[in-house]
Every structure is written in structure tokens, then in C-alpha cells.
Structure 1
Amino acid sequence: MSTVASRHKTASAPRRGGFWRNPALLSWLFVLLTVALANAIFLTGLRSSSPMTYYSGLASPSPGSLLGGWTIDPNVGWTVESLGRAAAHQWAEGDVPLWNSYEGLGQPLAGEMQSAALFQPFIMLQLLPNGVFVMHVVLEIFAGLATLAFLRRFGLGWVASTVGGCLFAVNGAFAVMTNAPFNPIAFLPLGLLGVEMIRAPLQRSPDAHAPRRGGRRPWAGVAVLALAIAWMLFAGFPETAFLEALFIGCWALVRLGQARGHRLAFAGWTAAGMVLGLALAAPVLVAFLDFMSWGSTSYHEAVANDISYPRRQIMSLALPFAVGALNNAVLRLQAGYLTLPALFMALVGLTGTKRRGIRLLLAGTMIVLIGNMFRFEPIKLLLNHTPGIKAILVFKYGISILEFAVVIAVALAVDDLARRRVSRRRTLVCASLTL
């Protein structure tokens, strides 16, 4: 009796240092630390993070030690900050920011989208000093933690999931594309998390006669997917949101094929999450469609996807600053980048034997986006026949999707390494392909 009691006491006693050994806590801290280090030059005040300093013409930043810029698009100041702060001030005064009376004779504020006027609660961060920078940092943290949660739900270990979360929190698109397309990127992993949360409770246990795992309907997954879709649209850049929704749809289709025994339920709940997300985003969709009924979209009308990067620029995709500072002749308008270590690990991840359907989806996504990016005509023709694609600068805004696919592949590689599934031969082949 005393032996049983002592064992129970020992088992229930907290371990010394157990708080810091919590893998979830450590993973969150690693993501936060990564974002802090990536933004250290601005967080410490060594350089100004205010777009007004760089692009208003009212001030001039002090010269630094290196040439180049910190963004590819001055619209971070001209639209994101100016219109975003105007929207935030209207919210603070109790008004819904539908109209901008300070632009010409007046212009729609919510309907023109790039202000992200209805992007609650994130838009309110613009009321703070350096509000655009604060909002971007919060979105980077959100993206990293959502990626971490998604990869854990996908079934990867803590180390692999943490690596993925850290990588996507500081991806190349976040680093250089700080205008309106920045905002929706953070919600791509949240959408995939919703799909995985819908799938989990529907899975049957290994025993065919046993009830489904959890024994409940996937309401939480539907809610997460709906929030992801809604926030993508409220975030203020429908092109990025549309491309992300396509990737989420492709992911859901692959998981549907793997959902034996509950395909109809999985499809229904996933569709419900997407429809609910569109319903939540109805205010911004109505404003946007009204604006589009008379607004000018210039070359976005029909031929946007005919534009590509010059093929010499493919070098800078994985070696971004080996060709010089940002905005030079080679790096001009490149809305993100990869790195050689990430490319190598992604190749290791793509050549694994587990989860083949997902690995094929990731490989196909990379091939299609890179082929379109550098004008491989069969891929360009294929995408131009996809409804809605022809009017989007896929070569530019698709880079964030490419980066996320690479991040998932890297996480798969780290997980394979942790489980000792990577052979020396596979490593050498992937290293050779990278070189």
C-alpha cells in the first residue's frame, strides 16, 4: 500500500525545470526570438522603420553602411501607411472606414482594398508609433505560430514544426514585399491548419468497428478555416488571397483523396468552412465588387500573368544578395527569395517515401510557380486558362506560396532526419542537385 502511494506521489510531483522543458513553450519562444532577431535593426532603433522617412519626401534617412533598400515597393508608405492610418483613425472615432474624403473629391477607402480598412483587429496597430512596422511584426509572429500549429497537427515532431514556423515567420516575401500583398500571407498556414483540424476528428480508428476519433464534429476546424479565408480577404490584397485559396483547395483535394471512409463528410465540412469564410468577409467583398464596377485596374484587366522575370534572375531566387543589393538590375521587383540551405533541405524533404501525395503536391507547386515565374511557356499557357489567374501577377505574388511549399518540404526533411529516414545516398543526390 505504501509502495503504491509513494509511486503515485512521485508521478504527480512536478519535475524540476519542467516549465522550461515544455516543448510547446520552447517552440513558441524560438519563433518569437527568430522574429525579434530578423527585425533587430529596426527594433533597436539602429535604422528607421517608418515608411514616411523614406518615401514622403519630407525627410531623408541617414546614409547607412550598405547600398540598397529595405522594400521593393514604396507603396508601403503611399498606400499601406497613409490609407491604413486613415482607416484606423476612422475606427477610433467610431466610424466604419468606407470612404476617404481626403483623396481628390473623395474615393472608396474599404473598396480599394490596399488600405486594409476592415482588417480588424490588426489595422488598429497602425495607431501606434511606427504602426506599419508593428503590424508587420505581429503578422510575422502570427504566421510563424500558425505554421508551427499546422505542422504539429499535420503530424510532424516539435523540432521539425519549430523549424518550419521559424522559417515562414521570416520568409523572403515578408523581408522585401512590405506593401499590401504582405498582409494575407500570414493566414495561409492558418487555412491549412483548419483543413487538418477538420480531417482529424473524422478519421476512423484502426479498428473498423470502433467509433471515429474524438467522436465529435469538426466545428473547430471549420471555424479556423473560415477565419483564415475571411482574414485573407480583409487583409487588403485579393490577388494574394486568391492564390492562397487555390493552394488550400489543392491541399484539401489531396487530403480528400486520402480520407478513406469519410470523403463526403470531409468535403462537406471543408466546403462549409470556405463558404462561412466568404460570408464573414461579405462587407469587404461587397465594397470591393462595387469599386470594381467602375474602377480602373490597368494591365491587371487581362494580361497580368503574361509578365515574367527575366531568366537571368533565376540566380537570385536562391542566392538573393549574391548579385548585389535589393532593387538592382537583377533583383528588380523580386517579391521574395529562397536560400540555398532551404532549397537543399526542401529537396531532401521532397524525396521522402512517407506522405507521397503531399510531397507530390509540394513538388508540383514549386515546378508550376518557378516555371511560370521564368516563362516556361507550357506552364504559362496552363495557368492562363485557369479562371482568374490571367489577371494576377502570379510571377510576383506567387512567391509567397512557393516559399510556404518549400517550408513544408524543409519541415518534412527535418522530421525524416529526426526519425532516421534519410540515407547518405539521398543526401548526396540532393546536395548535387542543389549545386
Structure 2
Amino acid sequence: MWKRYKRDIYALLVIVICIVLANSISIFLTNPNPVLKRSGLPLMGQTDYTRYIDGDNTIDPNDGYTKQALGTAAARQVQAGDMPYWNHDEGIGFPLLANAQSAALFPLTLLLTVQGGFLLFQLALELIAGVGMYLFLRKLELDRRASTVGGVLFGLCGTFAWLANAVCNPVAFLPWMLLGIEYLRNGTARTRHPLCIGVIFSLSLALSLYAGFPETAYLNGLFVLGWALVRTVGLEGSRWRYYMNLGLSGCVGLLLAAPAIVPFVQTLSVSHLGVHDGEALKHAGLSWAGLPMMFVPYVYGAMSDAGSIELLGTWFSIGGYVTFAALLLALLGMFATKYPRAVRVFLVVWAVVVTARIFAAPLITDILSVLPAMKETAVYRYLTPTVVCAVVILAAMALDHVAHRGVSRKMRYTFGAGTATFVIVIALIVWSQIPGNTDTTNYKRWLILSVGIAGVVVGAISYLVYAPRRHRRIALALVTVVVIAEAVVLFAIPQLAATKRPAQVEDGAVQFLRTNLDQQRFISFGPIQANYGSYFGIAQVNNNDLPVPTLWADHITNKLAPEAGDPVNFTGVYSTDLAKHPPIQEFLANIDEYRKIGVKYAVFGENGITEAQAASAGLVRVYDRNTVWVYELPHPAPYAESDLCTIQAQTRDQMTAYCHEAGTLVRRELFYPGWQATVDGHQVDIQQESDIFQKISLPKGESKITFYYAPPNIVWSWILCACACGILIGTLLWRRLR
């Protein structure tokens, strides 16, 4: 067995080494832990972040607010033996599993609770993606060199380099789904048992859905569906059996993921969806000025450090990049006749059409908006991984074809014309942006670096295309090294913008709140940013999440912060007009409403509130250290209270009531479908109180009260999941025994 797979193991080791090398800056020099930048807490012994280059190490701050903060909260519940259905520490209670972005049931989420877990999480995703792409390309019968290059390119794809939030989680399983399709196709003619050959597809589909970002999983699924349809070419007599096998395997994958799918779908009907509700995203796309960034990533400068407002907007919205080497090799891959024409045409058409949609090309945008959910999804960001995948496959095909069949005349002509066209178009767009750039010195450095890297790439691939045949082996070796080196360098650059090691947050305010908060809540206006209460295990009313329960969203808009803007970002930082309606001013004006939901403390940055403002609202400063000030509100409402009873709350879910006569209990937790309560073991109805709270009736005497939450129909979801697991295990055992 070792002799049979020895070369493949060596190739996989090369992929692992390249991915680890590309992350070496994060491993040894900088610390990508989002808590350092996203939590809003000061760093121990430092007054500011120190880094090697300006800019940011990742585009979307939800690497911290949702993936790390909510993911850690979910992981800790799992480790405690609880199902991560509900989060007491966000808002006045939020669904956790149903909101998806925490990836609550995704196995890799457990890594977030260990030292350096966030980096390990990202490394695991990259390795899964790289290994999956290698195995997929080998299944397509590409040689090991081309498959290794493809594995490195996809493992270090631009989505992983630029995004670290839950968006990138499902991307790791895209090549595995394609691999599953190939097993289904090749096994259709040899076996009559579909599930035996569909295990990889079913498992990778399920993991993609558990990974925490339904939009990416859905768009990846469209690419996989297109690939599955294209691969019917050549099946002839066994085509319908292939369709049946694919459908059955897909159904099993969906059943496996039912505990993630069902709660998410159900929560949409009782949630505020922000810009995803309606057609606000139907024609949204990137500015064409950002086109060079997709292929020459740092031509405008470091991440989020561009010199014009337009480009800053593009930085925040872009979903990754394709390396210039992969793009040029893909030009050759268009004519890699070793592979079916239908496959090559599909990959080219997908890459071109989807890129046009990313940049909101009018006709294509209107056509694609007919597809389900396209109007409500930020496709301009989340479709990028499929473009990378298509280009990487074409690039690997090109290397394999050239190694075994040489360079055809069509390849030479296409490469020359295509390269010239790309260079001219990119140069013209970049040139048009120079007047808008405010930091021309810094801009020129990045421009020189980008042109230098692109020049080396063009030179190496040109040598492969135009050199005499006797130089082919040397040219292939050179191109292999250059392609991998470019991918490693481009991937490593953003890591220089992370905080230098060693770095650690000062958590004195967190410890104070843990000690004194009890079962009440706090609100932040800077330090301990939204959702990081969940990360630290302290109840925080701020939220930065999507979806947002409708009752809570309406309460924010109507009672707590009418000028805060979209309640998706109830962070204590944003406002529709910061000059006229600063968040602190709104808080002071509505402070009674905060007391009614049980807010005991307000957390500010140093000098975030004046003493006069605090005194007028009755706020008392109880903690001030290292730029974090904590004020106590007067007379906050208790978490659980009764008109005729004495309540002792052991936890938020376990209480004891002593009633002189029958009464009611008001629990300041969000009224939401799925909550149930028992009194002395007997189930009682939960009523809605003051629009957002829960209320139950209590009998006379001493009572033991238990609240528990489970998403509606979750039991049936787990039963379906168990049935799917049983089917897969049963068919594998059946095949082995047979």
C-alpha cells in the first residue's frame, strides 16, 4: 500500500508544507487572533496595535464578531455537554444554532476554545481545501505535478487570504463535493448501490451546510450542480442511473445537515434580515475600478489601505482574488484537449459570467437574478470562490496537458493575445485611479511590487509557452516554482498587518463584570465590542448578528436606539447621523428603557462620557483602568421578578419560587418560538410580556421552575440526521460484507 500511494503522500506533504509556509508569518511573527483588534479592549503594555505594514490582515471584522465570539460561545456549550441552541449573552437572548454564523455544530468550531485556536481553524480549512483539490484533480487523471500545484493554489486561494469570517468555511468542501461527483460518475457503471459511491458527496455537502454560512454553501452548490450536469456528457446508457445516484446522495447529505438547515430556515420567518430582505442586493456589485485587485491583488496597496474612498468600499466588498499565474495558465487550459470540451467550456463560461456578475454587468446581473435567493444574497462577494475554483482547475489542466502533449498553436496565440489584453486593461484601470490616491509614495511601492511579481509570472509562463521543446522539462519546473511562490507570497502579505507578537488584551473590565454582573446585563459603547460578551461569557445587550429576531429588532428601533440605524449592528458605535445622534446621547435619553431590560452596567472608553452626563443620568463610575470605564445604572430591573412571589434564580434557566398565593413570574429573556417551561415538572404556557419578555403563572407555595429552549422540530431534524447516518453506515457495511 505504501508503494502504491507513496508519491501521492509526498505530493500531499508538499501541499501541507506550502500552506504552513504561507502562514509562517502568523505562526511566528504576528498574532491573527481577532480578539486583539475586534474586542475593543486595550492591549497589555501597549497603547496601540503594532504591525509591520499598514492596513488590515482581513477584510471583514466578522472574523471576530461572529465567527470567533459566537463560535466560541457555541463550542463552550458543546464542551459542557449542552446543545448550542440558545445564547443568553447576546441581546436579551438570541438563537445560536439557528443564526448559522456561529457554525455551532461544525466540528472545527471546537478549535476556537484552545490556545491559538483561531489560526488552527484557518489552517485546517486551508489544508482540507488543498488536499480536496489534489484528490479531485487526481480523480480527473491529472499528473501529480499539476494536481499538487492545483492543491496549493486552492488551499491558498484569495478567499482564505482576505476573509477569515464564516464566509470561507464552506469553501474548504467545494473540491470535496466535486470529488464526490466524480466518484458518482465513475461508479455509476460499476455498481448498482448508489450510496456506496456517494458517501464523499453526501458528507462534504453536509459539512458545507454545517460550516456556518448558507449563502456561500448555496452558491458553491450551484457550481457543483453545473459540474454534475456537464459530467453527464459521455455517460450515454447509464445517464439516468447517474442522476438517480446523484439525487439520492444529495438527499442523504441534506438529511445529515437537517439539524443545521431546519432551525435556520424556520428562524427566517421571525427575524429581521437587514439588506437581505427584499431586492436591495439585486444589482449590487463591485466597482470596475476593483477589477485589477481580483488578479493583481495589491496593485492599489495593502488591504483596506487604498487611497480613495471608492477603493476602500471595494476592499470591504470583494471576496478574494485569483493569482495572476493561475489566470494566465487558465488561458492555456481552455485548449487542453486532453480533457472533454464540455468541461473546459463550462469552466470558462462560469468564470467569465460569474466575474461579470461580481462587477454587476447589467444583462448578466438581470439574468442571474432569476435564480432563487440571488436577489437577497451578496453574490459579488460570495461567488468569488467558485471563480477561483474554475480557474485553478483550468490552470492545472494546462500544466498537465503541456507536460504530456506540449503547447499547441492555439495555446500560443491565445496566451499572447490574452496576456496582452489583460495587461492593457489592468494598466488602464490602475492608471485611471492614480489621481484619486492620496498616498502616492506608498502607492508606488505597492505598484512596483505588484508589477514585479506579475512580470516574473509572465516571463516564466512565456518561457514555457514559447521555448523549444527540449526546454520543456526545465520550463515546467520553473513555472511550478513560480506559480507556487506567487501563491505563497500573496497569501502571506496580509499577515504582516496583524498585531505583532507578543500581544494580549487587558481583561480587567471583563473580570469585574464577571464578578459583579450576576444575571443582569451590560451595554458597551466601545470596549468589549458587540458579541464579545458571548466570547467572555458575560451577558451583553449589544448585538452584531444576522438574522436578528424581529421582536428584538423592533424594540431596538422603537425603544432603545431609534437612530442607531439597522438593528443588525446594535453595537453602541453606529448611528444614522453620528453628529446629531451620537449613540451615548441616545442611551442617556432612553436610559429608563435600558434599566427595564435589566442593564446594570454601561462600558465606555476613556472620556467616552463626561462626568456631567453621568451625574445627570444617575450613573456611578465603578471601574476605570487602562482606558476602560464602567458605570453602574441606578435600579436596573431584575432578571426574574414576580408580583406576589419571592424568586431565587440559581441560573437563568433554573429558579425556585416561594408564593403566598398564586402569581406570575416575568423572565427578562426574549420571547421566541421554541422556549418551554415546567413548574414542578408540569409544563406550563409561556406568555408574552411587554412585547419581548416571557411570563408564566405560578401556583401558591414553593415551586421549582425550569426553562429550556429547543428550536421547533429539532427532534425530527436529529431523527432524520440519525437515519441518514444509519443509511450510510449500513450501505458501507453491506458492501464490505458482500
What amino acid sits opposite 1:284 in the alignment?
Answer: A
Tell me the matched-pair count: 407
Q: Residues 94-124 of structure 1, C-alpha deviation per residue, up to 9 Å, x if partnerless?
A: 00100001012100000001000011x2111
Larger radius of gyration: 2
Distance 1:20 1:199 in 2: 24
Q: Residues 186-206 of structure 1, C-alpha deviation per residue, up to 9 Å, x if partnerless?
A: 010110111101111224xxx
Match of residue 59 from structure 1? 42
Q: Does 1:185 align with 2:185?
A: no
Distance 1:337 1:315 in 2: 9
Q: Residues 19-42 of structure 1, C-alpha deviation per residue, up to 9 Å, x if partnerless?
A: 799211111101101110111101
Work out which of the residue numbers 368, 371, 387 in structure 1 matches 2:372: 387
Q: How does 1:376-415 map to 2 (within 5 A)?
A: 376-415=361-400
Task: Note if contact 2:194-2:248 (Cα within 8 Å) is conserved in structure 1.
Answer: no
Distance 2:207 2:154 in 1: 18
Task: Note if contact 2:194-2:249 (Cα within 8 Å) is conserved in structure 1.
Answer: no
Match of residue 280 from structure 1? 256
Distance 2:172 2:370 in 1: 28
Task: Note if contact 1:185-1:240 (Cα within 8 Å) is conserved in structure 2.
Answer: yes
Change (3 A) 1:55 1:356: same
Q: Does 1:131 align with 2:117?
A: yes
State the SS of the aligned residue for 1:112: coil
Q: Does 1:72 align with 2:59?
A: yes
Match of residue 307 from structure 1? 284
Match of residue 358 from structure 1? 343
Task: Note if contact 1:88-1:117 (Cα within 8 Å) is conserved in structure 2.
Answer: yes
Distance 2:409 2:27 in 1: 42
Q: What is the CA-CA distance between 1:221 and the residue it aligns to?
A: 3.2
Distance 2:326 2:14 in 1: 18
Change (3 A) 1:201 1:425: closer
Task: Note if contact 1:305-1:395 (Cα within 8 Å) is conserved in structure 2.
Answer: no
What amino acid sits opposite 2:277 in the alignment?
Answer: E
Work out which of the residue numbers 276, 290, 306 in structure 1 matches 2:266: 290
What amino acid sits opposite 2:188 in the alignment?
Answer: L
Work out which of the residue numbers 33, 39, 50 in structure 1 matches 2:17: 33
Q: What is the CA-CA distance between 1:146 and the residue it aligns to?
A: 0.8
Task: Note if contact 1:193-1:221 (Cα within 8 Å) is conserved in structure 2.
Answer: no
Change (3 A) 1:19 1:257: closer
What amino acid sits opposite 2:38 in the alignment?
Answer: Y
Work out which of the residue numbers 48, 56, 68 in structure 2 matches 1:81: 68
> What TM-score does the superposition give when structure 2 sets the normalisation length?
0.54
Task: Note if contact 1:226-1:276 (Cα within 8 Å) is conserved in structure 2.
Answer: yes
Q: What is the CA-CA distance between 1:56 and the residue it aligns to?
A: 1.0
Q: Does 1:339 align with 2:323?
A: yes
Work out which of the residue numbers 141, 151, 164 in structure 1 matches 2:150: 164
Task: Note if contact 2:109-2:121 (Cα within 8 Å) is conserved in structure 1.
Answer: yes
Q: What is the CA-CA distance between 1:412 and the residue it aligns to?
A: 0.6
Match of residue 153 from structure 1? 139
What amino acid sits opposite 1:138 in the alignment?
Answer: A
Q: How does 1:41-52 map to 2 (within 5 A)?
A: 41-44=25-28, 46-52=29-35
Q: Does 1:227 align with 2:179?
A: no
Distance 1:85 1:324 in 2: 33
Distance 1:320 1:297 in 2: 32
Distance 1:427 1:168 in 2: 25
State the SS of the aligned residue for 2:30: coil
Match of residue 8 from structure 1? none
Q: What is the CA-CA distance between 1:425 and the residue it aligns to?
A: 5.3
State the SS of the aligned residue for 2:282: helix
Match of residue 105 from structure 2? 118
Larger strand fraction of residues: 2
> What TM-score does the superposition give when structure 1 sets the normalisation length?
0.90
Distance 1:288 1:91 in 2: 19
Distance 1:189 1:378 in 2: 30
Distance 1:20 1:432 in 2: 42
Q: What is the CA-CA distance between 1:385 and the residue it aligns to?
A: 1.0
Q: How does 1:185-264 map to 2 (within 5 A)?
A: 185-203=171-189, 212=190, 215=191, 217-264=193-240
State the SS of the aligned residue for 2:272: coil
What amino acid sits opposite 1:278 in the alignment?
Answer: L
Task: Note if contact 2:195-2:248 (Cα within 8 Å) is conserved in structure 1.
Answer: no
Runs of at least 5 residues in structure 1 that lack an aligned partner in the other structure? 1-13, 204-211
Distance 1:431 1:323 in 2: 25
What amino acid sits opposite 1:342 in the alignment?
Answer: A
Task: Note if contact 1:340-1:434 (Cα within 8 Å) is conserved in structure 2.
Answer: no
Larger helix fraction of residues: 1
What amino acid sits opposite 1:28 in the alignment?
Answer: L
Task: Note if contact 1:198-1:220 (Cα within 8 Å) is conserved in structure 2.
Answer: no
Worse overlay, 291-300 or 72-81: 291-300
Q: Residues 331-365 of structure 1, C-alpha deviation per residue, up to 9 Å, x if partnerless?
A: 52222011221110011111222311111110111
Change (3 A) 1:277 1:408: same
Distance 2:141 2:234 in 1: 15
State the SS of the aligned residue for 1:256: coil
Distance 1:286 1:429 in 2: 48
State the SS of the aligned residue for 1:59: coil
What amino acid sits opposite 2:253 in the alignment?
Answer: G
Work out which of the residue numbers 303, 317, 325 in structure 1 matches 2:294: 317
Q: Does 1:367 align with 2:344?
A: no
Q: What is the CA-CA distance between 1:289 and the residue it aligns to?
A: 1.5
Change (3 A) 1:226 1:39: same
Distance 1:302 1:133 in 2: 36
Distance 2:360 2:23 in 1: 34
Distance 2:215 2:320 in 1: 16
What amino acid sits opposite 1:336 in the alignment?
Answer: G
Task: Note if contact 2:331-2:415 (Cα within 8 Å) is conserved in structure 1.
Answer: yes
Q: Does 1:106 align with 2:89?
A: no
Runs of at least 5 residues in structure 2 that lack an aligned partner in the other structure? 421-738
What amino acid sits opposite 2:19 in the alignment?
Answer: V
RMSD value, Cα: 1.8
What amino acid sits opposite 2:40 in the alignment?
Answer: G
Task: Note if contact 2:276-2:377 (Cα within 8 Å) is conserved in structure 1.
Answer: yes
Q: Residues 345-393 of structure 1, C-alpha deviation per residue, up to 9 Å, x if partnerless?
A: 0111112223111111101111111111112111001111112211111
